[in-house]
Each structure stands twice: as C-alpha cells, then as structure tokens.
Amino acid sequence: MSGIYIHIPFCKQACHYCDFHFSTSMKKKDEMVLALVKEMELRKNEFQNEIIETIYFGGGTPSVLSIDDIRFLIDAVYKHYQVVENPEITLEANPDDLDNEIILQYANSPINRLSIGVQSFFEDDLQLMNRAHNSAEAKKCLEFATQHFDNISIDLIYGMPNMSNEKWLQNIETALSFNIPHISSYALTVEPKTALHKMIKSGSIPALDDDLAQQHFHILIDKLQENGFVHYELSNFGKPDYFSKNNTAYWLGKKYIGIGPSAHSYNGKNRSWNIANNSLYLKAIAENKLPSETEILSKTDQYNEYIMTGLRTFWGVSLERIETEFGADYLNYLLQQSEKYISDNLLEIENNVLKTTKKGKFLSDGIASDLFMLN
C-alpha cells in the first residue's frame, strides 16, 4: 500500500515559528489547483502497480481551498491511481477556517479525517506564534467537528517560552475534554530566518529552554498514556485504531508520492523533492516538466533512514531486518554504537528489537544520528 501527499502552499498569514513552504498571496490558487492535478497525471506511471491507501492534504493550510477544489483534487487521485475501497483521507485545517458550514461540507465529502492546527488553547501563546485563530475559535471548532467526525487529530506545541508545567498540563487536559482520539505534539523549535529566530536574537522573547521542553514531553507522555493513548511515534499519540495511517506509512518505509511545490516522494530506493517556489513550479508543470530533484539512496543511506525512523517509533529497529537487509557488518556496528546508550538506560533490546527507553525517547533523533553509518 502507498500514499499520496498533496501540498497546498498557501496560508492566510505566516506563523512566527514556521519554515514550511507557503505563500500568503492567494493570487495563483486556482492555477495551482490545476497544476497539482496535472502533476498527478504526469506521474501516474510511477505508481502503476501500487494501490493508494492514504490521501493527505498538508501545507501550508489546505483549508484555504474551497470544498469544490478539494473534491476536484480527490477525484484526480481516483482518476489516475488505484485507490483502496476506504482510504484514509486527511485534511489539515486551521480553527479559523472551520465554521459549522465548512465542517458540514467536509463531513459530506470523501474527507474522513481532520488534522486541526490548534497549537495552544491559550491566547498569549497563539499571539506569540502569530496564529490566525484565537482560543475561543479553537474550542468552538472542536465542539462542532467532534459531532461530525470520529477521526480527528489536533496539533499542540510545547516548550513555549515562559510556559509553566501547570499551564502545559491545562493545554493537554483541555484537548482531552473533547475526546479527541489522536494528538500530535511538537517541541517549539527555532528555525533560521523565521520571525521567532529574529525575536529571540533581538532579546524580545527569551531563548527556548530544552530542559523545560523535556519536562513538558514527559508530562505529555504520562497524561496521555493515563487516558488510553499509545505513544506510537515520537510526536504522535493515538487511541487504538486511530494511528495516522499516512504518517505510519512514512515511518515504516512505505512508498509515497508528494504532489505540489516542496513536496517529497519516496519509493524505497530513491527520494525526490519538488522545487519550493510556486512560480517556478507552475511554469515547469505548464511545460509538462517535473520540477524535482532526485537522490538515489545508497545502502548506507537506507540503513541510516531506517535507524532514524525506527527509533522514533514504538516498533523500534528490528535487528533481524538489519542483518537480513544490510548484513552482519551493519548489525555489528549498530550493536557496538548502541552499547553506551544501553548502559545509560536510553536504549534497550527487547525481542531482538532496539528501542528507546522512556528516558531516551526525547533524545531519539540525537541518539539515531550517533548510530548512523558514515559513507
């Protein structure tokens, strides 16, 4: 099974922490929708023998599109690709776009999963992030969305400057009060060239505190596990049967096609990515060209990728798979590099699977990089 990711590169306004590709100008929105459909057509042979299990609208802010645009894009997927009978179709949306009428339109469309960018239920946090919605809109949209959608995920951000543990716990408890079955939660990070980076550099807000973020992370794990969530990936928590099929496919190394500017694709052997420029993307597609670069993954690249994704998940890294797919030298290297982390109780081996411990989860990306094989 495979997936299709569709990148909608438009937002109403720029969040201070975001470094994803988007434009705040909607002038080329209609042209972009047509180009996305054309890219699907141009690339249909890539997935000739694949069956699509998930369709994911990400961004940017996909909820800036009309329901007709979204239906048009979904119809194009069905026209050019083989799709399972009941695919998971996720739309990322912001609370300020989700009034009652829009939610009803989504509920009467093929969309069956909403991923809502709440980020925080506190007004000061939302203002610091420069989010387009307010706390009241976040709560109101969840009240209505939960009446019409069973499968909802929300995003929350922790590690905010001056956010106490008590305030973070209130955020989590507010989310839980809506009986949401999936929560994605990320530490606030400072990306170069973002407004947040400039604000910290100028001293207008304090630098981020890694120790505080780690405290928030463990509060999050404990609270969500108490409430029946499975911590199945570093940033993702789902009730049983509500894991994101789209994201799970990424972490388990399944194939996917990324449609739209800046979107990435992966077929197990190669990784490609489209140009992160709306005008150049539109120009290339109009000329029937794919505006992408491709990287052929070496055996070592594939090993490193499996280590990175595996350690982020509760499935871990199968030592049997390492030996079978990569050979004894890779397995011996991995075991040797893991020794110090096992002795520090950051990694463990259970049923021939290498995993992070609870203590090591927050550090999993850094640990993974130390287990990489250098080319």
Q: Is the pLDDT of residue 190 over 80?
A: no
Candidates 1.10.3720.10, 2.40.50.70, 1.10.287.610, 1.10.10.920; correct CATH number of 299-371? 1.10.10.920
Would you tell me how many other CB atoms lie within 10 Å of the CB of residue 235? 16
pLDDT band at 25 (very low <50, low <70, confident <90, very high): confident
Overall average pLDDT of the 155-182 stretch = 95
Q: Please report the pLDDT score of residue 130 as a whole number.
A: 85
How confident is the model over 124-151, as pLDDT tens digits?
999 888 888 899 999 999 999 999 999 9
| Confidence class for position 213, pLDDT limits 50, 70, 90 | very high
pLDDT the model gives residue 245? 94
pLDDT digits 0-9 by tens, 62-83: 999 999 999 999 999 999 999 9
* pTM of the entire predicted model: 0.93
Q: In this predicted structure, what is the pLDDT of residue 6?
A: 98
Per residue in 26-69, pLDDT (tens digit) is 889 999 999 999 999 999 999 988 999 999 999 889 999 999 99
Domain with CATH 1.10.10.920 in the chain: 299-371
Average pLDDT over residues 217-245: 97
pLDDT (average), residues 92-98:
95
Give me the residues paired with residue 56 across strands.
Answer: 5, 90
Check residues 208 and 124 and name the one with the higher pLDDT: 124
Give the whole-angstrom CA distance, residue 24 versus residue 8.
12
pLDDT confidence of residue 296: 96
pLDDT in tens, 99-116: 999 999 999 999 999 999
CATH tag, 2-251: 3.20.20.70
Domain with CATH 3.20.20.70 in the chain: 2-251
Does 209 have pLDDT greater than 80?
Answer: no
- Please report which confidence band the pLDDT of residue 253 belongs to, taking 50, 70 and 90 as the band edges: confident
Q: Residue 86: its pLDDT value, please?
A: 96
CA distance 305 to 27: 38
pLDDT above 90: residue 354: yes
